[in-house]
Every structure is written in C-alpha cells, then in structure tokens.
Amino acid sequence: MLARPGSKTRAQLWRLSDGDWSKRDDALATEEPMEIRLLAGDQQKTLSVTMRTPGNDFELAAGFLYTEGIIRERQAIARISYCRDSDLTQEERYNIVHVKLAGNVLPELQSLERSTFTSSACGVCGKAGLEALERRDLAPVPPGPEIAPEIILGLAGQLRARQGVFEATGGLHAAALFDTDGRFLASREDVGRHNAVDKLIGWAVLEGPLPWKDRIVLVSGRAGFEILQKLIVAGAPIVCAISAPSSLAVDLARAFNVTLVGFLREGRFNLYSGRERIRAAERLAP
C-alpha cells in the first residue's frame, strides 16, 4: 500500500558549531509534485503540476480552480479524489488529484495563461497574469470595512502561534484568515506562497462563504502580484504581509480598491493602498 506523504520529512545532517561537528536528525518541509486533473463526462485533462507540501490537497485543487476562474462556485465540483490505480489494488496515488466537474464538458482552458508545470516558488509570470486578469470580469472590491490599526498589529502573533509545521522545519509559508475584530478563522501552510493562499481559498470554496467581504488575509512572506490576484478573486478587502509587496502588487491593489499592508512586524506596518479602511489613516494627507 502506498504511504500518504506527510508535511514533514526527517533527514540526517552534520552541524558545525564552535568548531565541533555533530550528527543531528532534522525535520524538513516536504516538497512533492501534485498533478491536478480535470474531468468532465468522458473527458480528462491535466490542468497543472505544482510543487507543494502534502496536506489539504483537495483544498489546493479547489482554490486553484476558483482563483483561475475555472469554477465560480462550490456546486461546479461534483467530486474531488485522488487518482486510483486501474488494477485490482485500487491504490490511491496521493500526488494526482482528480477534480470531477458537475457538467459533462470541460470548460475552455485556453485563457489559462499558465504552463502545465508550476513551481512552488513563483507561479504565473507577471505579464501573462496581467493579460489574463484583463480578460476576466473582475470588479473592484466594494468599500468597507473600517478597522482600528491595533487589529492589524495583533495578527502576526496569532499566525506565528499556529504555524506548526513552520516551527518544526522553518521552511513553510502560511496564509491566514481573520474577521474584522482580529479573530482567527483559518490558516494553511505550504512550501509555496501561492499554494498556501490557494489552500486557504479552497477551504472557503468547499466549507465557507465567498467572497470575503468582511475579512482580513495575512500572508507570512512577501505580497506579490499573483497573491494579490488570487485574493482579489476571493473578494478580500484587506491584505497584509509580513514582508514587502512588489510594485505590481501595489498597482493591482490600488486598481481594485484593496487595502494593502506590508512589513507587518514589531508594532509597525506600512500602508500602501486603501487607507480609508484603517481608522485615523483615512485622515492622512494625499
């Protein structure tokens, strides 16, 4: 029987400390490929292969389909499952996820400007992403909510407390969802930034409401274009990042009326767009 891959992998290493070598056992963040296959009727197509940390694979697939515009609601998915061997063993192949659509015909996929291989690090390139975004009917995020700066300042500590695999390996990104009172709702981890976001959005596709009208999203690393694109599709009005945003992400946030916060750490943050949602900041001079 095939073993289900875990989020952590043990490895031996030699550590040099103060001139002395010692043999140690260490935990690494697992990185393995996952193929997403789309099925409808008797049709089947490989949609993407991404390097990911095993865990919440079905959410990753659902989130990817939602943020890329392939599905618009939970009802579009009939079933998500792992691929099974065709022989009598019917063993599950944990690195291949089948998404069975409710209809009998595969949707048009030529507008998906993404190669069939996606790394865990970067995802779609900026130029292709911009062109694809321009072709989609995405409206700016509606006004509101308005929150106190103290709510934003309290988010990073809550995320760190819930990054279990990161604490063990030091090698994962995370995305977390909060309400406007700063209460934690959900988080997901992955070796890839955009995978963590897709898992979080996929959780909402399968279990919770979308769009996120009154929610705050925090990502553990930097906020790049693709992260912003995915969260705009999810309707997130406030996006925060522990590290820096990219210039393209700031442009996108301003174009779609998203409040974008960067460098959230140690009692401070930078506000790049959407200051009207942060109390007192809306009175700052242009």
DSSP assignment of 217-283 equals: EEESS-B-HHHHHHHHHTT-SEEEESSPBPHHHHHHHHHTT-EEEEEEETTEEEEEE-GGGBTTGGG
The C-alpha atoms of residue 155 and residue 173 are separated, in whole angstroms, by 15
Report residue 141 as tokens: 């995020």
What is the pLDDT at residue 170? 55
How many other CB atoms sit within 10 Å of the CB of residue 81?
13
Domain 32-134 has CATH 3.40.718.10: no
Q: Which residues belong to CATH 3.10.20.10 in the chain?
A: 32-134
The C-alpha atoms of residue 255 and residue 236 are separated, in whole angstroms, by 14
Give the max Cα distance, the chain.
70
Report residue 250 as tokens: 């700031």
- Inter-axis angle of helices 225-233 and 247-255, nearest 10: 20
The C-alpha atoms of residue 241 and residue 274 are separated, in whole angstroms, by 15
Question: What is the SS3 assignment for 285?
Answer: coil
How many other CB atoms sit within 10 Å of the CB of residue 31?
17
Give the residues of the chain that fall short of pLDDT 70: 1-2, 86-90, 110-135, 164-171, 282, 285-286
The answer for residues whose C-beta is within 8 angstroms of residue 44's C-beta and 6 or more apart is 37, 38
Question: What is the SS3 assignment for 16?
Answer: strand
CB-based contact 173:193 (threshold 8 Å): yes
The reply to whether 240 belongs to the active site is no
* Active-site pick, 83, 122, 125, 240: 122
The C-alpha atoms of residue 255 and residue 252 are separated, in whole angstroms, by 5
Report residue 200 as tokens: 């979080």
The C-alpha atoms of residue 286 and residue 274 are separated, in whole angstroms, by 12
Mean pLDDT of the chain: 86
Q: Which of 52, 30, 56, 36 is nearest to 96 (CA)?
A: 36
Q: What's phi and psi for 266, nearest 5 deg?
A: 50, 50
What is the CATH architecture assignment of 149-283? Answer: 3-Layer(aba) Sandwich (3.40)
Q: Which residues belong to CATH 3.40.140.10 in the chain?
A: 149-283
